[in-house]
C-alpha cells in the first residue's frame, strides 16, 4: 500500500517550475471531535465505543508525513 508523502510530492513540483520554501509553507487540516449525546439513535454504550475508536484513530499529520510544526488545525465538534 502506498503511503502519501506530501513534502516529497511538493519537492517533485520543482521540476515543473513551482518553487516553495517548506519553512514558509503552512498546511491546514481538519479535526472532528465526536461527542456522544443521549436521545434517539444509537445506544449510549455504542456511541461511547465509537467515540473511543475515533479518538484512537491515527493522526492525519503522520499519515501524510507533514511536519507537525507547519500544521494549522481547524476543528469542529460532531454530536452523535
Per-residue pLDDT, 34:
92
DSSP per residue over 5-45, as a string? -HHHHHHHGGGGT----GGG--EEEEEEEEE---SSSS-HH
pLDDT digits (tens, 9 = 90+) for 26-57: 999 999 999 999 888 889 999 999 999 999 99
pTM of the model: 0.73
pLDDT digits (tens, 9 = 90+) for 10-31: 999 999 999 888 889 999 999 9
Amino acid at each position: 500500500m502506498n503511503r502519501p508523502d506530501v513534502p516529497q510530492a511538493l519537492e517533485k513540483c520543482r521540476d515543473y517550475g513551482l518553487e516553495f520554501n517548506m519553512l514558509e509553507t503552512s498546511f491546514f487540516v481538519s479535526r472532528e471531535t465526536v461527542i456522544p449525546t443521549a436521545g434517539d439513535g444509537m445506544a449510549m454504550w455504542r456511541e461511547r465505543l465509537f467515540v473511543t475508536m475515533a479518538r484512537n484513530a491515527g493522526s492525519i499529520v503522520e499519515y501524510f508525513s507533514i511536519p507537525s510544526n507547519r500544521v494549522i488545525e481547524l476543528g469542529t465538534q460532531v454530536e452523535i
